[in-house]
Every structure is written in C-alpha cells, then in structure tokens.
Amino acid sequence: MTNIKDTGLIQDELLIFEQGGKGRRGYSLPQWDVEEVETRTVIPPDLLRKDLEGFPQLSEIDVVRHFTRLSQWNYGVDSGLYPLGSCTMKYNPKVNEEIARMAGFANIHPYYPEDLSQGILKLMYELESFLAEITGMDHVTLQPAAGAHGELTGMMMIKACLQARGEKRRKVLVPDTAHGTNCSTSAVASYQMVGIKSNERGVIGPEQVAGQMDEEVAAIMVTNPNTLGLFEEHLSEIAEIVHRKGGFVYCDGANLNALMGIVKLGNLGVDVVHINLHKTFSTPHGGGGPGAGPVAIKNELAPYLPIPVIERVGEAYRLNDDRPQSIGKVKAFYGNFGVLLKAYVYILSMGAEGLRRASEMAVLNANYLMRRLKEHYYLPYDRPCMHECVFTDQFQEKHHVSTLDIAKRLIDYGFHPPTIYFPLVVKGALMMEPTETESKESLDRFIETMIAIAEEAEQNPDLLRQAPQKVKVRRLDEVLAARKPKLRWNAPSPHPSLHRGEE
C-alpha cells in the first residue's frame, strides 16, 4: 500500500529496475527445434556477461506503460506554449520528420562512396547555398554539431587567417548582451575577453567599440539580435571601426529567426556568422544531442573552411579534403545529416516568402506579449523588441516575490516557465520567446496567466513562494541537484521485484 497516493493522473512511477517480477518476459519464442545447450558450455567464460543484480524482468505492457507514463510527464512544444527565451523552442513541423525517415535518407551510410551519395551531397550543397543566400554570406560549412561548436569553428577560421597574415592578436571584444557561449568560445579559442558595456538603449554604441578597438583585437563577437531581444542597430558602423584596425566581425546569428528575409547580416559588415538550425529552421532542439550549427563566412576566410568541403564539378558533387590551409575536421564525416535534412525540408516547404513571414510573426508575437505584460512586469528596455522580450521581477520585489517564484507558479498553471536570470545584464530577468507558431488565443492564455500571477504576488505571495504545488515534483534544491547529481541506481537489498515471487 505504500506506493498508493491520491495524485490523480500523476502516477508515482517507480524506476524500471523496481518493477516487474521474477520470470516475467516481454517476448515469446517458438519451441526449440534444436537441442538446448547450457550457454556456459559453448561460450568462453571471459566473454560471458556476469549476472546483473536486480536486472528487471518485465512484460511488454510493463515496459510500454512505464515509458508512456514517463513521456506524459514531459513538457514539450507539442504539448503547449514553451516560452523559453534564447532557446527558441520552435514547433518542428511533422513533414520534416516524415521526410527524414524515408529509407533513402535514413539508411544512407557515411562510408558510401561519393558516386552513390550524389543525392545527399547535392542536398547539402543546396542547403549551404540557401543559408549563404539568407545570411548574405559567400560560403557555408554545415559540419558543426551545435551553435557553440559553430562559434568555435568560426573563431578558429579567424585565428588561422590572422596567423596566415603573420598577426598574433590576443583579444576578443564581447558585449554584455552577447550570448554566454560567445565568452566561452573566445576563451576556448585562447583569446582574452574584453567586455563592452551596452548603452541605455540595450545595444552597443560605436563609441564604446572605438574606445576598446586596437591592433591587439582579433575580433568582436556580437549577438544580433542580442540577448535582450534588441537589434544591434549600429552593427555596420561598428564593423567599419573593427575592420579599420584589421579585426574581424563575428556575429552570433543564432537569433536569425527574427531576421529571415528582412536583414542579411553579410550586408552589415559581418565576416563570420553561425546559425542554430533548431532556433531558426525548425529542427529538433539538440539538448546536448545531435544538432547543427552551420557557419557562414565571407570569401577572405574560405581557404580555412573545415574539410571536407562539398564542391560541384559539372553535374557531380564531391567532397574535397585537399585544402592545405583548412583548419581541419571539426566533426566526423559531414555533420549531423538527419538534422541538416530537416532544415532543408523546412526551407523548401516555407519558401522565401514563408521564411520572411515566420520572422515577421515571431517579432509580432513577442511584441504583443511585451505590450500586454509591461504594466504588470517591469520592462527594463521599453522599446519594440525582436523575437523575444525581457522583463524583471522589480514590481514584485516589494512583496518578496522573486523571478524564481513567478516561474515556478507558471508550472501550476500548466506552462513551461520562460528563461530566468538570463541575460545577466538585467537583474532578475524573465526572458520570454513565444515563437511564430503560437496563435493569438494561445498567447492570450499565457498573458492572462502571467497577469493572474502578478495579482497573486500582491494578494497572496505565499502561493508563489510555495509553487509549484500541482506537480509530481515540488520545488527542488537545484544547487544540490547540480552539485551532487544522483546518476547511478543502486539495487536495494534485497531487490523488491524478488519479493513478489514467481509470476
């Protein structure tokens, strides 16, 4: 009786190791038509796996129910609005998945020779040219497996180019509104990071850059639109300042979902830009798994592109490894093809007009949210935003309610919380990105919930401080979870399934 709780549909699911019973099977095999032999008599003992203590024995329905229940605890963009700012939890159209599962794509092996891989080489070559067109750049590599990986690839190309020029520059300028990975990338690429302070409009001004720019600076890394959801309106002027002193302009273009068909970053003096396919081209969010962060560059950096480079020779496509100035390989084979394919399908299914409309809708939705919530939550930069907007908990502070409490209360209302405490440039940030696919009804439901929470903060702040209450797992000790994660299951002794006897 100990596991019985009146939690309604939120079942208290045991670990799979704690379920089942001795002798239960998830399969049935036909009668043997050969003589049964003891495994140990035919397989050398050093190759035999030892018995795993507590290895679960389950029926098919046990397994199906276990994983179905776990999947139902999950919150995804297919279950509801997912306003995680900067992460762009964008809906992934099902046609992308369907095409990616077609046997001709799903079963292709990276060791197939070039002449049997012409279809996928053509597809990747075309995807490179679509991305070059959308960003206004000259060449693209599709290899990097994530946005941050793309940043490193881009910075390595800049470094190789400077080395070829015989220059040893040590610094990279990074504004306080840049994505956190920009700082890490400049450090991993062995540069000293020099911070640039944004101005009262939440963007960087040419004068701040001019004040820091010298012949020691290899590049500036600008996130545009930046992490406040604002367009870096002086980028062209800043690029001129940086170029005049021989530096490069790296643009973190992960937020290209606000700009497609409207602004070509290449026209603003950008030399390198990476793109997060999941944020803009509707591929699944990598979440540490296989993703793609293609990098687009200007001609000057072309000799340093990672190998292999896909080339078109007449009607054929080939992979060229013979590029002596290349920074080398950054990923096995040619990147995560399945992800690239989904982005390709998205671009073709949307068309140029559709992509532009997606960006327009992303910006419209974020501005609608911003306008309707700004009376209820403090808006540090009160001006039109791009694809996301950033509030803070300043109005709620007097009731001793924090950003964390607001985020946790949203869970009680059935929403995934927005990104919190990022960007660091504002205190107590609540960063919201609705994306283009949310309808007005869905946005209104979220807005009304946020307004209700702001009212609760005044009238019953304890409700927020104790949230979430309507979920299986209440407020966690996040520091403990991060510092001392419990990643290994240890069999209780004796194992519970063994108690239940033969079934």
Kindly write out the interface string for residues 186-225 of this chain, putting x where it contacts ligand PLP by CB under 6 A and - elsewhere: -------------------------------------x--
Residues 42-101 that bind ligand PLP (CB under 6 A): 86-87
Residue 225 Cβ vs ligand PLP, minimum distance, rounded to whole Å? 9
How many other C-beta atoms are found inside a 10 Å radius of the C-beta of residue 244? 10
Residue 181 as a binder of ligand PLP (CB under 6 A): the answer is: yes
DSSP 484: S
CA distance 406 to 373: 14
Residue 181 Cβ vs ligand PLP, minimum distance, rounded to whole Å? 4
Given 255, 280, 282, 403, the residue binding ligand PLP (CB under 6 A)? 255
Residues near 250 by Cβ (< 8 Å), separated by ≥ 6? Answer: 151, 154, 155, 158, 182, 219, 220, 221, 222, 270, 271, 272, 273
Helical ranges in 165-292 per DSSP H: 180-188, 206-212, 235-244, 277-280
Kindly write out the interface string for residues 137-166 of this chain, putting x where it contacts ligand PLP by CB under 6 A and - elsewhere: ---------xxx------------------
214-232 burial, b at 16+ Cβ within 10 Å, e below that, comes to eeebbbbbbbbbbbbbbbb
Q: What own/partner pairs with CB < 8 Å and gap ≥ 24 does 492-495 have?
A: 492/18, 495/17, 495/53, 495/54
Stretches 285-293, 315-323, 458-466, 493-501: which one binds ligand PLP (CB under 6 A)?
285-293
The site for ligand PLP, by CB under 6 A, has a size of 16
Residue 234 as a binder of ligand PLP (CB under 6 A): the answer is: no
Residue 82 Cβ vs ligand PLP, minimum distance, rounded to whole Å? 13
Q: Which two tokens stand for residue 129?
A: 């040219």
Residue 128 Cβ vs ligand PLP, minimum distance, rounded to whole Å? 19
Whether the CB-CB separation of 337 and 290 falls below 8 Å is answered with: no
Residue among 234 and 278 whose Cβ is closer to ligand PLP: 278
Residue 306 as a binder of ligand PLP (CB under 6 A): the answer is: no
Strand partners, 20: none
Q: Which two tokens stand for residue 88?
A: 């762009």
Burial class (CB in 10 A: 0-12, 13-18, 19+), 431: buried
Residue 185 as a binder of ligand PLP (CB under 6 A): the answer is: no
Residues 387-446 that bind ligand PLP (CB under 6 A): none
Where are the extended beta strands (E) located within 176-282?
192-196, 217-223, 248-252, 272-274
Residue 256 Cβ vs ligand PLP, minimum distance, rounded to whole Å? 9
Task: Output the residue with the shortest Cβ distance to ligand PLP.
Answer: 147
Residue 291 as a binder of ligand PLP (CB under 6 A): the answer is: yes
Q: Which residues bind ligand PLP (CB under 6 A)?
A: 86-87, 146-148, 179, 181, 223, 252, 254-255, 276, 279, 286, 291, 293
